[in-house]
Amino acid sequence: MMIYLDCASTSLIKPQCVTDAVCKAMSGNLGNPGRGSGKSSIESSRLLFETRTIIGTLFGMPSPDNVILKSSVTESLNTILIGLLKKGDHVISSVMEHNSVLRPLERLRKSGIITYDLLGADSFGRIKIEDLKGLEKKETKLIILTHASNLCGTIQDISSVRQLLRNKDIFVVIDAAQTAGYIPVNIGNLSADAVAFTGHKGLLGPQGTGGFILNDRINHEMMPVFTGGTGSDSSSLSHPMFLPDKYEAGTANVPGIAGLSAGVNHILEEGLDSITAKNQWLMDHFLNRLKKFSEIFLYGIDISKGRIPCFSLTFSDIDPSLASYVLDNEFGITTRSGLHCAPLAHKVFGTDTSGSLRISFNHLTSECDIDALFSAFSMLKGVSHD
């Protein structure tokens, strides 16, 4: 039986309620939301509204219309960046970002639209938030930062960003791909204008789901990136500018959204406090086992506080890619090796040439899964342990 330890990539093991919700949505009862007055269309519209409501509950957004449903966090981040930024704008981000932030920024820079600067990070993967003032310019329009590194799991001090800015009107956008469903992510408590999330990781939904939450202030500055059919104001050739239709052209992924809704409901029923406590216990167990392996090196914080269950490792004399291959093919343990779409973060740790082995799990992971990993480590050539 496979042991799955690549939850930072996707939560392969889903609660049964998620699978059931997707199957039910595919059974022929749900039509095209907002397209017609038939029962199937109305039921789909109701599903979308209920999903926006519970996602809003999770992220501290009382208005369901301000919850935008997209295909991924990558599409969400592109929608925000391309829709918000104009010629001459300046952006501040960090070296710990995923390529879903870095590549859109670089494309906008090469197109002559924006300039950007990147905050550095310390040896634990903590973004140097205190350097914001030195990078802030009069042209600075946006700060966009990851909530937690997808490489080393370090949680960033996002809540202090706004107070460090001289210009309090600068927009703050958070990439919560790795934290949503793991720890509290409240748009108000983080003093953020928008939070982008993926549906298939911590929220336990299907792949092909995600979205973003935004406040009215940033919405008024943004333009839609995609335009087309919405089922609303169809007599006009101009795209609707009211939420959520402004950012949701085209037919929604109804089965995926049904699964996402079930995943978020599972989290709300379990309780984030309970999920966080279970993950904390698993991380403590992982780190205690890791201490006995002198030739395995951990990057990032070496305690469970201030991190999510996402660990980046290298070995003294085994290539991370080979280690991942052996773990999969000989022990049935799924991990992830390489650069993890975060090349600049790897440069921080000096692993940009070799990459690293990433171990990531969630509250559905068992103690036995982690023990099996370390049993496999003890049998890898070149790995010694006490």
CA distance 83 to 40: 33
> Tens of pLDDT along 130-148?
999 999 999 999 999 999 9
Alpha carbon 76 to its chain's center: 11
Close Cβ partners of 301 (under 8 Å, ≥ 6 residues apart): 124, 125, 152, 153, 154, 307
* pLDDT at residue number 38: 74
Q: Is pLDDT above 70 for 382?
A: no
In angstroms, what is the C-alpha Rg of the chain? 21
Q: Is 94 helix (H, G, I), strand (E, B) or coil?
A: strand
State the span(s) of the chain assigned CATH 3.40.640.10. Answer: 16-269
DSSP 256: H
Is the domain spanning 16-269 CATH 3.40.640.10? The answer is yes
* pLDDT at residue number 386: 55
* pLDDT at residue number 1: 84
CA distance 137 to 117: 10
> Torsions phi, psi of 68, nearest 5?
-100, 130
Tokens describing residue 176: 């919560």
Is the domain spanning 3-12+271-379 CATH 2.60.40.150? The answer is no
What's the Cα-to-Cα distance from 201 to each of 75, 121, 206, 363, rounded to whole Å?
15, 25, 9, 12
Give me the sheet containing 194-198, strands edge to edge.
67-70, 210-214, 194-198, 171-175, 140-146, 89-94, 114-119
Q: What confidence category does residue 384 fall into, taking pLDDT thresholds of 50, 70 and 90?
A: low
Q: Is pLDDT above 70 for 383?
A: no
Q: Is 295 helix (H, G, I), strand (E, B) or coil?
A: coil
State the span(s) of the chain assigned CATH 3.90.1150.10. Answer: 3-12+271-379
> Tens of pLDDT along 21-80?
999 999 988 888 877 777 888 899 999 999 999 999 999 999 999 999 999 999 999 999
Residue % of the chain over a pLDDT of 70: 98
